[in-house]
Amino acid sequence: MRFRRRTLSIPFVLFLLVFVVAPLAVVLLYAFTNGQGQPTAENFFAFFQSTRTIATLVYSLWIAFVTTLMCLLLAYPTAYVLARGGYRKGGVLLLLAVLPMWINFTLRITAVKELLDALEGNLAYYPFLNTIIGQVYDFLPFMILPIYNVLLSLDQRVLEAGRDLGADPGKLFWQVILPMSRPGIVSGITMVFLPAMTNYVVLDMLYNSTYIMGSLIGSYFNAYDWHNGSMISAILLLIIAFFSWLEKKAGGEISESSAARGGSLL
């Protein structure tokens, strides 16, 4: 049986080696070498010494933060109503919420562009606002789904115990439901924040000429500067790994404390 398991894992291992490990090795090789193929850390220091790259990183983080915040403010009430509203056809309503994900990305953003153009007259007047609207429209389902799943799976015995102990709906939400739904919030934030940093297609289609990390990497590769482009990609991978580590750590702490919160805070 052990031999069969190893045999069945060979295609998966080969896939990882060819499509994950090998491309990552190429990126790291270009990132830490110069045009002559010599090892160097100059590309790394150049990233932090350039005002252009730092400004792009800050702008990308700001767009990702605002997008994530707006998605959270819209997604949590939506997921709460769908999961806790007692609708017999809650699954159908959830399907309507995520239905735009089934449509081609370019078509969706084009529809948003035409709508904003009709409302504003000229998309160039509000580039940042239009970017946030496009990003939120694109990523909102990724925030709704994990929060909805967590709210739907809450232990009803804890909620009933809270009501029996005299907790009013407001206290029950703030001290029990919200803390217990934090794993879904953390997962949704990760699924929205990281892609929002690099989704430069939305900016291009909505006439926002400001660079974010994705467009900056593309500009280096288009100029055949593989080394600086690869270094920015490697730094972005470090940022993603850092946020993934924070999500894992936060998720572990939340799982350990959520049950205790449900009883002790009441």
Residue 193 has pLDDT above 60, yes or no: yes
Predicted TM-score (pTM) of this structure: 0.81
Residue 266 has pLDDT above 70, yes or no: no
Q: Is residue 251 part of a domain?
A: yes
Q: Confidence band (pLDDT; 50, 70, 90) for 3?
A: low
Q: What CA–CA distance (Å, rounded) separates 39 from 112?
A: 46
Q: Is residue 192 part of a domain?
A: yes
Task: Calculate the average pLDDT of the chain.
Answer: 83
Percentage of the residues of the chain whose pLDDT score is greater than 70: 90
Dump pLDDT digits (tens) for 82-136.
Answer: 887 766 766 777 787 778 778 888 888 888 888 888 887 777 788 888 899 999 9
CA distances from 264 to 33, 176, 178, 252 (A): 56, 10, 15, 19
Q: Give residue 65's pLDDT.
A: 94
Dump pLDDT digits (tens) for 56-76.
Answer: 989 999 999 999 999 999 999
Q: Give residue 112's pLDDT.
A: 87
Instruction: Assign residue 252 the CATH number of its domain.
Output: 1.10.3720.10
Q: Is residue 187 part of a domain?
A: yes
Residue 50 has pLDDT above 60, yes or no: yes
Q: Is residue 101 part of a domain?
A: yes
Owning domain of residue 162: 59-214+243-264
**Structure tokens belonging to residue 259:** 């049950």
Q: Give residue 108's pLDDT.
A: 87
Q: What is the DSSP letter of 121?
A: S
Q: Is residue 252 part of a domain?
A: yes
Q: Give residue 204's pLDDT.
A: 84
Q: Is residue 155 part of a domain?
A: yes
Q: Give residue 258's pLDDT.
A: 52
Q: Is residue 4 part of a domain?
A: no
Residue 227 CB contacts under 8 Å (≥ 6 apart), including other chains: 30, 31, 33, 34, 35, 43
Q: Which residues pair with 33 in a beta bridge?
A: 39
What is the arithmetic mean of pLDDT over 24-33?
92
Q: Give residue 72's pLDDT.
A: 95
What is the arithmetic mean of pLDDT over 225-252?
83
Mapped to the 3 state alphabet, what secondary structure does the chain carry?
CHHHHHHHHHHHHHHHHHHHHHHHHHHHHHHCECCCCCECCHHHHHHHHCHHHHHHHHHHHHHHHHHHHHHHHHHHHHHHHHHHCCCCCHHHHHHHHHHHHHCCHHHHHHHHHHHHHHHHCCHHHCHHHHHHHHHHHHHHHHHHHHHHHHHHCCCHHHHHHHHHCCCCHHHHHHHHHHHHCHHHHHHHHHHHHHHHCCCHHHHHHCCCCCCCHHHHHHHHHHCCCHHHHHHHHHHHHHHHHHHHHHHHHHHHHHHHHHHHHHHHCC
Percentage of the residues of the chain whose pLDDT score is greater than 90: 22
Q: Give residue 260's pLDDT.
A: 54
Q: Confidence band (pLDDT; 50, 70, 90) for 255?
A: low
Phi/psi zone of residue 126: left (φ > 0), alpha (ψ -120 to 50 degrees), beta?
beta
Question: Domain count of the chain?
Answer: 1
Dump pLDDT digits (tens) for 123-175.
Answer: 778 888 889 999 999 899 999 999 998 988 887 787 777 777 777 777 888 88
Q: Give residue 71's pLDDT.
A: 95
Q: Is residue 223 part of a domain?
A: no
Residue 123 CB contacts under 8 Å (≥ 6 apart), including other chains: 113, 116, 117, 130, 206, 207
